[in-house]
Chain A
C-alpha cells in the first residue's frame, strides 16, 4: 500500500491524469461494447421511439461544450480590454497576445486545493456553485444561435428563460449561507435583494414586446424581425430595450451593479470562502451569464441571427460547386495549386526585400495562403449555408454587447445598495409600466380588432 502511495506521489500531473483516465476509459469502452452486443437491438428501438431523449442529451452536451470557449473568450476580452482602457498591457504571455490565459486560469482552478471552512455546511457549500452554474447553462438552451441551431424551441421560451435564470439567486443564497462567513452572508443577501427586485422590471420591460410579437417562442421572435435592421424590435420598443439592458446588467451582477461581490466592501461577497473548482464554477457561470444575457438582448431587440440587411432576391449568390465534375483534375489541382500559390505570394516579398532570407519569404507566403483560403472557405460557407451566416451575425452582435458590459466595468464605479433598490422601484418599474401602457394603447389604435 505504502509503495503504491509513494509511486503516486512521485508521478507528474500528466502521469496522474493518464493513470486515472485511461483505465476508466478502457472499462467504459468495454462496458459499452458488451452492452451493445448483449442488448443492442432493444436500446436502438427504445431510442428510435423516444427521439426527444437523444435530442435532449445532444443539446445539453452541445450547450455545455459550447459554453466553455464562449466564457473563455469573454474572460480574455475582459482582461485585455480593461487593461487597454487602463493603459496597461494586460495578458501577453500565454498564446498570441495572451489569448490562452483564460485556458490557463481554467487549469489553475482545477489544480488548486479545494477546501471548505470549519463550520460550513458542506453539502450546501458544494451544491451552491453547481446550482448557479446549472441555472445559467439552462438559460442557454433556448437561445436561438442560428436558423435551426438551438437547444429547444419552446412555445414558452421566454418564460422558461426568466424562470430558469432566476434560479441562480438560490445558488448565491446557498453559497452565502453555507460559507459560515459574514461577508458571504451579506453578499448572498445583497444578491437576493438585488436579483429579485430587478426581475420585475426585467420581465415587465419585455411584455410590450410580447404584445407586438404575439408569441413567447424566441425562435419566432427572431423570425418576426427578419428583413432590414429597421425591422428590429429595438426601434419599436426603445424604452423597453433600455430598461431590459439595465435590468439585465443587474441580473448578471455586472458593474455598476456588482454589489454582490463588491471587493472594496465585502471582500468577494458570496464567493469569499470559495477556492479551487468550486470558485471556478462561480467564475465560469458569471461569464456564461454575461454571454447569455447579451444573447437574449440580441435575440429580443436586435434581430437575433438576422443580418442587418436583406438584399433583394435577385442579388443572391447561388453557388453550386460539384468537385466531382473535375474528375482526376481535382487531385492535380489540390496538389499543384497550394505550392504555386504559396510561391506566388512569397515571390514579391523575396524580390522586393533583398535582405530577407528565402525561408522567411516562404513562411510569409504560407501564412498569406492560409488566410486567403480561410477567407475563401468562410465566404463560401457564408453564402452557401444560412446557419453559418446566422451564427456569425448572432455572435457578432452578442459580443458587441459583451464589449459594452466590459466597457462599463472599466468605466463606472459601483452604486450603493439603497440607490440600486431605489432605481429599480422608483424609476425602472414605472418606466416599464409606461412602456407597456403606451405599447398596448398604440396596438389598440393601429390594429383595432
Chain B
C-alpha cells in the first residue's frame, strides 16, 4: 500500500472522487464519474508526480445495478497499481468518453468492452463488435444476459430447438440478475 500515492491523489482529485480512496495489497482504487475520465486519466498520465504511463488493462464491469469501466495503470513512481473506476454508468445507455486520445492501444479493449457490455465509448473511431458476429444483438457479459434469450434473437434462431425451449416467462429476468456491491 502506497500511502503517499493516496495523499497525492486525494489532494489532486479530492472533489472529483465519488467515494473514498480504497487501498488493499498493492492496489489503490479511485472512483470517479464517467464524465471526469479524460481529465483524470490525462492528469495521472502527464503530471510528474503520477506518470502512470502504461495502460495495463481496461475492463467493463456490470455490477448488476450499474455499469463501470475500470482502468488499471502502472507507473514507476509508485509501487501500486492505480485502479481508476468510472462508476455509475446507466445500464440502459452506458456511455463514457474514450481514452484512445491517450492510449491508441485502448481502441481494441474498448471495442471488447462494447462487444461484451454495450458500453459506448465516445471518441473511439472504430467502435464495433470485435469477437461476436456483426449481426449479433446481445451483450454476453451483462448480468441480464440469458443464453436462451440470446438464441431466440440470434440469426440462427430455430436451428437448435434445445436452446429455445428454456426461454423464461417475461418478468422473471430481473430475479436472475446477479448483483454485487463490491
Q: Do chains A and B touch in the complex (CB under 8 A)?
A: no
Chain A contact residues, CB within 8 Å of chain B? none
Chain B contact residues, CB within 8 Å of chain A? none
